[in-house]
Amino acid sequence: MRTIKLFIPTSVLLLLIVSCGSSKKMTGQPSGGVITVTTTTTPHYDSLQVKYAVYLNTRPDRIVNLRLYRFIDGWMGTPYKWGGLDHKGIDCSAFMQRLLGEVYDIHLPRTSVQQFFTEWVDKFSGSEYLAEGDLVFFHTQNDRVITHVGLYLANDLFVNASVGKGVSIANLKDPYWKKCFVAAGRVKRS
Instruction: Specify whether 148 is catalytic.
Output: yes
Q: What is the pLDDT of residue 42?
A: 63
First to last CA, the chain: 39
pLDDT tens sequence across 91-136: 999 999 999 999 999 999 999 999 999 998 999 987 788 999 999 9
Instruction: Specify whether 92 is catalytic.
Output: yes
Catalytic residue chosen out of the listed positions 87, 92, 139, 155:
92
Q: What is the pLDDT of residue 128?
A: 81
Q: What is the pLDDT of residue 159?
A: 98
Catalytic residue chosen out of the listed positions 20, 148, 171, 180:
148
Q: What is the pLDDT of residue 37?
A: 52
pLDDT tens sequence across 157-173: 999 999 999 999 999 99
> What global pTM score does this model have?
0.77
Q: What is the pLDDT of residue 22?
A: 36
* Planar angle of CA 151, 152, 157, nearest 5 degrees: 120
Number of H helices, E strands in the chain: 6, 12
Pairing of strands 34-40, 89-90: unpaired
Q: Are 93 and 115 in contact (CB under 8 A)?
A: yes
Instruction: Specify whether 171 is catalytic.
Output: no
Catalytic residue chosen out of the listed positions 44, 142, 160, 180:
160
C-alpha distances out from residue 96 to 28, 103, 139, Å: 53, 10, 16
28: amino acid identity, one letter: G
CATH topology of domain 47-187: endopeptidase fold (from Nostoc punctiforme) (3.90.1720)
